[in-house]
């Protein structure tokens, strides 16, 4: 039976322009190429989970514009349920204009738009779906009050929660305490904890109750699982990386699916590591999310 995953999160349309170099203030340059593509941490994680075979519901906000139509069309194509995606009449769909020069350097301006205007009513409409979920996952590209509220709704109904604290930001300890699993990378862990260098100490400082764990993603080093009493590193899979963008989202999608299917924690992290490893072997974010058969093949070696 497919794992039921609910993702409360963001959608941003990536608008990428490629040019020889970055323009100076006031300068206009000719570009080499322009590409649009679906992005946003919540949406990327939803795609990852859906491609791994989960039954995925997305809760979020988009505007009344062409980017919203593109998002809804994309999610339908990926088999993601969008009954609880609200259309915001006043705020535009989130966008991320990206400039990339010939050396590969990039500059990004993220305008979160409708993502920041999610309301408690948006989440309340999905209460029954949340209650029936195996895992609820959220990130920090929506307003922080709704991160807290979504996890409270899930916890009062006995549903496991994953908080991916990305992009990095400071959160109240009460919000962090609602997460059964925290999944920061090294930078996010340092910002959340205020402790640098010692991942185990930093992660443990965030844990406030029994049954809580932090899973720190450390790139090519894999992931470090930290509980109040133990710490274990689950190694990464060796692959040739083409584009590491979206690897964290792939990890979180894979982790949620594996937990939802009842896999033990170490096995779930290994599954997530495999999902992330495969995602970096292809360009792009959402388009690079692997299918279930690819992940199973990598796990079998």
- Does residue 164 sit within a domain? yes
Which residue numbers are catalytic?
249
Distance CA 85, CA 147 (A): 16
- Tell whether 14 is covered by a domain: yes
Residue 106 clears pLDDT 90, i.e. is over it: no
Q: How confident is the model at residue 275 (pLDDT cuts 50, 70, 90)?
A: very high
pLDDT tens readout for residues 58-68: 999 999 999 99
pLDDT reported for residue 248: 94
Q: Is residue 104 part of a domain?
A: yes
Query: What CATH number did the domain enclosing 221 receive?
Result: 3.40.1190.20
Res. 104: pLDDT tops 80: no
pLDDT higher than 90, residue 103: no
Q: What are phi and psi of 80, to 5 degrees?
A: -95, 130
pLDDT in tens, 114-134: 999 999 999 999 999 999 999
- What does the pLDDT look like over 242-261, one tens digit per residue? 888 889 999 999 999 999 99
3-state secondary structure at position 243: coil
Domain span including residue 121:
4-20+34-300
Question: Are 112 and 93 spatial neighbours (Cβ–Cβ below 8 Å)?
Answer: no
Structural domain includes residue 185: yes
Number of domain units in the chain: 1
CA 9 to chain centroid, in Å, comes to: 8
Residue 134 lies in a domain: yes
Question: Which SS3 state, helix, strand or coil, does residue 274 take?
Answer: helix
In a domain, 25, yes or no: no
Q: How confident is the model at residue 210 (pLDDT cuts 50, 70, 90)?
A: confident
């Amino acid at each position: 039976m497919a794992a039921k995953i609910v993702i409360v999160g963001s959608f941003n349309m990536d608008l990428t322009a490629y040019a020889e170099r970055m323009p100076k203030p006031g300068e206009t340059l000719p570009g080499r190429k322009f590409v649009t593509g679906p992005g946003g941490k919540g949406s990327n994680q939803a795609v990852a989970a859906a491609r791994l075979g989960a039954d995925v519901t997305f809760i979020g906000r988009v505007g009344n514009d062409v980017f919203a139509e593109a998002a809804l069309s994309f999610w339908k194509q990926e088999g993601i349920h969008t009954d609880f995606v609200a259309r915001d009449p006043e705020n535009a769909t989130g966008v991320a204009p990206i400039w990339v020069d010939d050396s590969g350097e990039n500059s990004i301006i993220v305008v979160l738009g409708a993502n920041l205007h999610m309301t408690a009513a948006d989440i309340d409409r999905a209460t029954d779906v949340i209650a029936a979920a195996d895992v609820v996952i959220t990130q920090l590209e929506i307003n922080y009050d709704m991160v807290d509220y979504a996890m409270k709704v899930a916890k009062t109904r006995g549903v496991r929660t994953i908080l991916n604290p990305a992009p990095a930001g400071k959160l109240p300890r009460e919000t962090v305490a609602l997460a059964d699993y925290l999944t920061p990378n090294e930078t996010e862990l340092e910002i959340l904890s205020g402790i640098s260098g010692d991942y185990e100490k930093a992660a443990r400082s965030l844990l406030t109750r029994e049954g809580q764990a932090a899973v720190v993603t450390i790139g090519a080093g894999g992931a470090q699982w930290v509980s109040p009493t133990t710490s274990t590193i689950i190694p990464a899979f060796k692959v040739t990386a083409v584009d590491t963008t979206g690897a964290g989202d792939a990890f979180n999608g894979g982790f949620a699916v594996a937990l939802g299917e009842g896999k033990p924690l170490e096995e779930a992290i290994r599954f997530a590591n495999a999902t992330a490893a495969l995602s970096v072997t292809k360009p792009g974010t959402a388009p690079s999310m692997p299918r279930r058969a690819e992940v199973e093949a990598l796990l079998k070696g």
